[in-house]
Each structure stands twice: as C-alpha cells, then as structure tokens.
Structure 1
Amino acid sequence: MKRLTTLCLMLVLALVLAACGNDEDKSDNSSSADTEEAQKQQEEAQKQMEEMQKKFEKQQVDADKTVAIVNETEIKGKEYNALLTQAQQQSQAGGADPTTDDAAKELQDQVLKSLVGNELLLQAAKNNDYEVSDKEINEELQSTKDQLGSEEKFAEALKATGSTEEEYKQQLKEGMLVTKYVENELSPKEVTEDDMKSYYEKMEEQAKESKQGDSLPKYEEVKEQLKASMEQQNLQAVMLDKVDELEKDADVEYKI
C-alpha cells in the first residue's frame, strides 16, 4: 500500500465535501437566476474557475514521482498534489494568485516542508514506541463517517481523492500516532490572559488603521476564540522547532 500522510487525505476529504456543498448551493441559486445577464455572469465565473483549475494542475507533478525521501521513506507526487491543491485554494481564498512564479515556488516549498515534517514526526512517534489500537482507529473512522452524514458520502469523498477506506484507516493511524507523540513530547507555551489582551490590542490597532474599528467584536466576545487560536499558533511553533531538530539528524533529500 502506498503510504499517504494523514494531513493530505484528511484535508482533501474536507475540500471534496466543501465542493459538493458549493455545487448544491449553485444549483439552488441558478433556479432563481432567470435573467440572461445572470446566466452570462454565471458562465463567465465558471470559465474563470476552469481556467484557474488548469493553472493549478500545471503545477502538479506525476503521481508516482518521488518528491522527497526521509530516512529511506519516499514521499510521492500523489501526496504532494493533494496538499498542493489545498494550499492553492487557501491562497486563492485569501485573495492571492497562487499561480504566479513566486507564489508557486513559495507554495511548493511550504508543501514539501509540511510533508517532510509530518513524516519526521511520524517516524519519531514510531521510534519512541507510540502505538494506536485498532479500536481507536475504528472509533475515529466512525466519527469521520458520522460527520460526513452517511457511508455513501464518505465513499464518494474517498472516490474523489482516488483513495480507499484501507488507505484512509492507515492515514488515521499515522495521524493519531503523531498526535500522541506531539501531546506527550512537546510543551507549547501557555497562553495567559495578558497574552490574549496584548494580542487583542494589536488587533484593535490594525482595525483602527484600516478604519474598521467599529466591526471588531469586544474582547470578552472573542477571548475564547483568541485563546484557541493562540494555543494553536504556539503548538505549531514548537512542532516546527521539533521538525527542524529532527531534520538535522535525519537523511532528508528533496527531489523537486
């Protein structure tokens, strides 16, 4: 079985579901768009989407191409393409054009770094004897299916990614191994009330500079979201530090 990183497939599954939801919304809206002008606008938007998709696909590599090697474990183009698609769509949603030369190179570096980092953490988890039981995997699998709503939707999402349920279960196992390792081995900085207030004050300054101060929610209304976001940032920081540490002692070769 080809190894796929947990990050890739789970992100792509989310994308497939979002796309399905968007398609349904478009079909509902199109029934009320009974004017010729609305139809022209819809056709033009569809044309632009198709052109952008072609540009996205040009940045992909052959699915069987080895894009990186981490301690003799090969990372394939299929994994790279899946995560690249996610990165491209996030970049586009943020208002950027991910198809320019500079942006494409930046995304390539980010995707490769993410794939290599995930593999290094996975290998570290295995080397430290972390384990995941079949029961844990099956419970997580069922939770995913429940979130999607049905077995049929889960199967459709898997089909769209070109993966099987067994591959997805392997994904879950790898992801849970990494999670256990991170939770037990890494210690992100604690987020304090002062940290949150300081962060919020910076948000206020930025909002005032952009003349959007009135639209900023009050601190008490967003403090829990701020805390969660800052905790995630702190966790990502220590994970990146750990990846850098692991990479120094690893045999990593980038192939693209």
Structure 2
Amino acid sequence: MSKKMMTTGFALAGVLALAACSDAPAADDGDANAQEQSAEAGAESPEAGAEQPEMPEADTSDIPEVVAEVNGEELSGEDFTVLYESQFQQMAMQSQISGEEPDQDQLKEQTLESMIGNELLLQDAEDEGYEASSEEIEAIISDAAENVGMESSEEFIEAYEDQGMDEEQLRQDAESQVLINQVLDDLEVPEPSEDELRELYDEAVAAQEDAPSPEGAEGAEEAEMPSFEEARDDLETQATDEARNEAAVAHVDDLRSDAEVTTNL
C-alpha cells in the first residue's frame, strides 16, 4: 500500500477538498447578490479603492527529494510540497486580511511534523492489524465531496483528476486515513467531569459578556445564553473533542519516542 500522505494534522478530507476548490460549484444567485451588496458597502468605505497587498507566494525552492525518514519509510518532497502549498494558500488568504506575512519556515516545520505524525499513526495501524473496508474508504471521499459542496464522490473524483491527480492515489490516501482514524478512535478518552463542563460553560458566558456589541445594534436585544443544562450536550461534545485531540497528540509523541526519525528539511 502506498504511504504517500497528503494529510494535514489528522484530517485527510480537508486537504483533499483543496484539490477541488477551483472546480467547486459556482455561487448561486443568493451568494452573488450577497457579494454585490458587500461590494457596494465596500465602495462606501473610506478605504475603498486602497491597493490590496500582493498575494505572497510559497517558496519551495529548498525542498529536498526526501524530507524525512520514519522507521526507514521515506517521506517525499513531492508530497510535502503538495501539502505545504495547500496550507500556505490558506495562510496567504488570511494574510490579505491581517496584512501579516506568513512565516514560511514555521509553516514548513508544522507541515513536516504533520506528515511525520501521520506516518507514525499509519505504521501503528498496520502493526496492530487494522483494515479499511471499501465502505469506509468511500465515506472519507464522500465527506470530502460534501465539504466543498459537491453532490457525489464521482463529481469530487473528477475534479480531483482535473487537478492532474490520480483516483487510485486518492483512494489509497483515503484508505490510509481510515486506518489512522481507527487508531485514534481506539484511544482511551475519559468522560468529562462536572467541574470541566462547568468551567467550559463559565468561559462561554464570560466570552459572551466581553464580546463587543455589533455596530449599529444599539438597543438590540442580546442573544440569550442557554442555561448550563440546556448547553450540557454541546459542552460534553466540546470537552470530549478536546480530550481526544490531546490523546492523539500524546499518542504520536509516544510513537515518536520509540521511532527512528530523520529530517532533511
């Protein structure tokens, strides 16, 4: 099975979706109207017409053919570049708003660590004998299609291939993600305590109280904060997700402490 990983963090679907962004369905009339209204509002702004900063470009000139070796398994510079450019595209779009140039060295380090973590999880899955069913693989691709507003996996795969990529590789990457998900799903995650839920609730209440009122909303009635009991289910989900993320990071750290990892970046 191919070990080419195009994942970021532990979620394949988000990166796969980026491959089809340029082929995602066009905005409907409602979106077009919203954009037109936004443009009209912008024209009234004192900053309208101000020159926008240039979109920064990803620098991949120093990427070696092999960016790392994990227990003898090579992680290619080609795969790194695909993932890095996808991540950089998101940061560059944010920089248009913030005006702050992306830190490419830091992003490269994060991208490499993400690839290493995924490779360690995949190796762990194979060592433990996990298997991915065709239904699970299809579900990963279907989720990616849904994330970009496409109606079917077939439409997503077509868009993926239009980007010059291969369906077989897509399915192999999806299979790898299923295996990784199985490892993460089997990690022990404690149920959140009452104190943890109360703390999350108090933080949400404080955040709402500190949030500035929307412009032009003087006299408008603020949204009422649900009671603790009403918010309990959402609080439990949030706490469990946070605990699962912490467990995943800790598991990768444990795997890495016993692994032979060489980085070339």
The TM-score with structure 2 as length reference comes to 0.71
Task: Give, in whole Å, the separation in 2 of the partners of 1:91 and 1:227.
Answer: 34
Same amino acid, percent of matched pairs: 25
Mapping of 1:112-127 within 5 angstroms?
112-127=112-127
SS of 1:75's equivalent?
strand
Quote how far apart the aligned CAs of 1:57 are.
1.9
* Residue 155 (str. 1) matches residue 149 (str. 2): no
Deviations 1:42-89 (A, max 9, x none): x979x847x32xx2422x357773222111212223332343345441
Cα distance, 1:241–1:91 mapped onto 2, change above 3 Å: farther
Cα distance, 1:142–1:29 mapped onto 2, change above 3 Å: closer
Aligned to 2:200: 199
Task: Give, in whole Å, the separation in 2 of the partners of 1:252 and 1:98.
Answer: 33
Quote how far apart the aligned CAs of 1:92 are.
5.1
Q: 1:120 touches 1:243 (CA, 8 Å); kept in 2?
A: yes
Aligned to 2:217: none
The TM-score with structure 1 as length reference comes to 0.73
Aligned to 1:218: 226
Cα distance, 1:81–1:230 mapped onto 2, change above 3 Å: farther
Structure with bigger helix share is 1
Quote how far apart the aligned CAs of 1:24 are.
3.3
Deviations 1:97-152 (A, max 9, x none): 6634xx33332222221111111011011011111234543455456557721423
Q: Which amino acid aligns with 2:162?
A: K
SS of 2:188's equivalent?
coil
Aligned to 1:74: 74
Aligned to 2:179: 177
Q: Which runs of 4+ in 1 moved over 6 A?
A: none
Aligned to 1:235: 244
Aligned to 1:28: 32
Mapping of 1:129-140 within 5 angstroms?
129-138=129-138, 140=140
Quote how far apart the aligned CAs of 1:190 are.
1.6
Quote how far apart the aligned CAs of 1:179 are.
1.3
Task: Give, in whole Å, the separation in 1 of the partners of 2:100 and 2:67.
Answer: 20
Farther-moved stretch of structure 1 (187-196 vs 78-87): 78-87
Paired residues, number: 243
Aligned to 1:245: 254
RMSD of aligned residue pairs (Cα, Å): 4.0
